Amino acid sequence: MKIFIVGMMGSGKSFLCKQIAKALHIADADIDLMITQQEQTTIEQIFSTKGEAYFRTLETNYLRTFEHKNNFVLATGGGTACFNNNIQWMNEQGTTIWLNEPINILVERLYNKQQHNRPLIKDLDKPALTNFLSTLLNKRQQFYEQANIIYNSNQPLEELILQLKSINS
């Protein structure tokens, strides 16, 4: 069972990843965490010193290390699905879930809480953050929509788990 979680920053991919892994008794991983640990620097630092293109290549390389692994749930970065044909690759490898949260929820989660850790939004006020996230979602939605499952945190987790079990049985 290979499960990939995609979605916007602040949607709760890492949290959902741990919940699914626990429910299915499989390993969980977080691509952003893997990158920061292995590269021994922050994503913000990678963006500022080497640029987004370098980061997206790095992110894809880490993603592809899951090709020969089994029984995991992977929380991807917010942009992972949108570059280097990654959404197609993930769909070929396993089951993808788009964690689709409304913009107002993302703004509440990100504004002043996680904002300083995220290079794309670190200097935005609340109206600018709302506008930025709306624009970004408009660009990324075409990739996210290719996921096998579209899920929202208002839905019961048990339903998602049952759906994953039926897909992967």
Kind and range of the H or E element at 2? strand 2-6
| pLDDT tens sequence across 5-38 | 999 988 999 999 999 999 999 999 999 999 999 9
Nearest CA to 144 among 95, 96, 73, 94?
A: 96
Can you spell out the DSSP letters for 9-78? TTS-HHHHHHHHHHHHT-EEEEHHHHHHHHHTS-HHHHHHHH-HHHHHHHHHHHHHTTTT--SEEEEPPT
Polymer length of the chain: 169
- Residues paired with 2 in a beta bridge: 72
pLDDT given at position 52? 87
The answer to whether 16 touches 101, Cβ cutoff 8 Å, is no
Q: What is the mean pLDDT of residues 38-44?
A: 89
- Report the predicted TM-score, pTM, of the whole model to 2 decimal places: 0.92
Give the three-class secondary structure for 5.
strand
* CATH fold of 2-167: Rossmann fold (3.40.50)
Over residues 45-72, the pLDDT tens digits come to 888 899 889 999 999 999 999 999 999 9
Percent of the chain whose predicted confidence (pLDDT) is above 70? 94
Domain coordinates of the chain in residue numbers? 2-167
